[in-house]
């Protein structure tokens, strides 16, 4: 646990008592603060009460008298589409609003660091797609070279649940836009921006607000080094804002769309080969085609981001390359889960938006595509031109028929995962890939993309035990 510093003796309100809320309450108490907790869910309040936390209705009049700060869980809106009433009350009372990420950056360093030979470092990864794989890959590389490392945030443990740092440690954080938008302290040593595509637009008041939330990690965080994906206009703009000029190697630009040139520091992947250039000269190269845990151009982008972050720490290209080959990938992200009769089953349930699904489709040939679910804002137009390798789509979800009508390939309405996998298997021929890449959220049928992926795996076992 990371005890919260700077709030000893202060009353701190905590709204939302899920994983991050309870973790924040424990860390606040460990640092001498007095948590005042609330959740609209009685079961969540009861769980907090069993741990000894005082649960007080933060919606009542005067609830913020004497309160030093309000800590809000990621799922609770603080601005768009409308602020939670508790957040509004806190702001009206002049109480600062923060989250567990802000508390972490405020509290991670302590006096013990004075005795370390090598100060711990924090690498924070954000972006629309690929941040989980990138974060896990960086953490894996650290473990591969024997450097102490912890993985936290949206993946692994909660940020305040990790252990206090040891000499030379690297903490890798995956951070969503919900987290970066609200955190009052953001001070990573290295910050990574993978890419940007429309997502969570209602929560951020549009694409501009969504980008602004991610940009805070860099503009307000002031990292020593910034790794920026420049395949979209927003990434190019961000890299330009952070750089003092073409030769400024504090910004490492990455791409899978083009060869990057110039006197700065660039890492790019083309036709399966990763290249690193500095001052106009190539200084590193990796053949990614044989890296089983990183299939497709979208994973090559993740490889570029992780490679650049690790190079910024001083690791050698050959060391990073060796670690790539021992990376097994993440569950629900282009994960091969079975093979039978020359047919491969791939679980990419994490492809919850159009852009991530398009990238998954580009990674394979002869695809029997299982898709559908709770359609996100913006529709399916972004899939146009991305379905060339799809032989047929098998659509799941409560609105499967409407979803299927928007696709530009032959589509069969299956509704359930069991039916979709069975029909895809019946139609499949040797060399086909049965790919779950929903291009939609899971919440019409499942409580998470993980549950959806687990159902896919369970159905696959009927045909590829």
Task: Answer yes or no: is 350 a known binding residue.
Answer: no
Q: In what order do the strands lie in the sheet with 225-229?
A: 149-153, 170-174, 121-126, 190-193, 225-229, 251-255, 265-270, 273-278, 281-287
Task: Answer yes or no: is 127 a known binding residue.
Answer: yes
DSSP 301-343: HHHHHHHHHHHHTT--HHHHHHHHTT----TTSSEEEEEETTE
Task: Answer yes or no: is 275 a known binding residue.
Answer: no
* 378 touches 401 (CB < 8 A): no
C-alpha 222/C-alpha 106 separation (Å) is: 14
Helices then strands, each counted (H, E), the chain: 15, 20
* 252 touches 283 (CB < 8 A): no
C-alpha 396/C-alpha 445 separation (Å) is: 9
The residue to which tokens 């637009």 are assigned: 201
Q: Hey, what are 114's tokens?
A: 């004075």
C-alpha 321/C-alpha 94 separation (Å) is: 51
Task: Answer yes or no: is 99 a known binding residue.
Answer: no
Task: Answer yes or no: is 129 a known binding residue.
Answer: yes
C-alpha 193/C-alpha 148 separation (Å) is: 23
Task: Answer yes or no: is 290 a known binding residue.
Answer: no
Task: Answer yes or no: is 302 a known binding residue.
Answer: no
CA triple 24-18-82, angle to 5 deg = 95
304-321 exposure pattern, b = at least 16 Cβ within 10 A, e = fewer: bbbbbbbbbbebebeebb
| Binding site listing for ATP | 127-133
| Binding site listing | 127-133
């Amino acid at each position: 646990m990371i005890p919260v510093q700077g709030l000893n003796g202060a009353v701190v309100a905590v709204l939302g008592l899920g994983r991050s809320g309870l973790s924040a309450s424990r860390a606040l108490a460990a640092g001498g603060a007095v948590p005042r907790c609330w959740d609209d869910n009685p079961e969540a309040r009861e769980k907090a009460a069993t741990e000894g936390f005082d649960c007080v209705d933060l919606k009542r009049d005067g609830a913020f008298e004497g309160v030093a700060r309000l800590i809000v869980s990621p799922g609770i809106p603080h601005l768009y589409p409308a602020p939670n009433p508790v957040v509004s009350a806190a702001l009206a009372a002049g109480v600062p609003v923060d989250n567990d990420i802000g508390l972490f950056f405020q509290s991670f360093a302590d006096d013990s660091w004075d005795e370390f030979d090598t100060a711990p470092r924090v690498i924070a990864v954000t972006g629309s797609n690929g941040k989980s794989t990138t974060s896990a890959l960086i953490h894996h590389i650290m473990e591969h070279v024997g450097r102490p490392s912890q993985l936290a945030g949206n993946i692994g443990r909660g940020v305040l649940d990790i252990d206090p740092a040891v000499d030379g440690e690297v903490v890798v954080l995956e951070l969503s836009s919900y987290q970066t938008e609200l955190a009052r302290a953001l001070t990573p040593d290295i910050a990574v921006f993978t890419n940007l595509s429309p997502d969570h637009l209602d929560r951020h008041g549009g694409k501009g607000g969504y980008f602004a939330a991610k940009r805070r990690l860099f503009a307000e965080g002031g990292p020593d080094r910034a790794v920026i994906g420049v395949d979209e206009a927003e990434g190019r703009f961000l890299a330009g804002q952070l750089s003092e000029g073409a030769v400024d190697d504090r910004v490492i630009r990455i791409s899978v769309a083009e060869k990057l040139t110039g006197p700065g520091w660039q890492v790019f992947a083309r036709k399966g080969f990763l290249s690193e250039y500095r001052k106009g000269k190539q200084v590193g190269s990796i053949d990614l085609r044989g890296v089983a845990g990183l299939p497709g151009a979208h994973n090559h982008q993740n490889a570029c981001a992780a490679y650049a972050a690790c190079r910024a720490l001083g690791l050698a290209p050959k060391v990073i390359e060796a670690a790539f080959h021992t990376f097994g990938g993440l569950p629900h992200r282009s994960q091969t889960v079975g093979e039978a009769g020359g047919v491969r089953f791939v679980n990419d349930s994490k492809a919850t938006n159009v852009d991530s699904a398009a990238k998954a489709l580009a990674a394979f040939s002869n695809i029997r595509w299982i898709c559908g679910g709770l359609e996100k804002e913006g529709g399916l137009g972004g899939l146009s031109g991305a379905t060339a390798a799809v032989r047929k789509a098998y659509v799941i979800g409560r609105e499967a028929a409407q979803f299927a009508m928007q696709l530009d390939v032959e589509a069969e309405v299956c509704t359930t995962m069991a039916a979709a996998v069975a029909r895809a298997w019946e139609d499949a021929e040797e060399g086909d890939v049965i790919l779950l890449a929903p291009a939609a959220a899971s919440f019409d049928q499942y409580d998470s993309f993980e549950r959806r992926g687990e159902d896919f795996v369970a159905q696959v076992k009927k045909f590829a035990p």
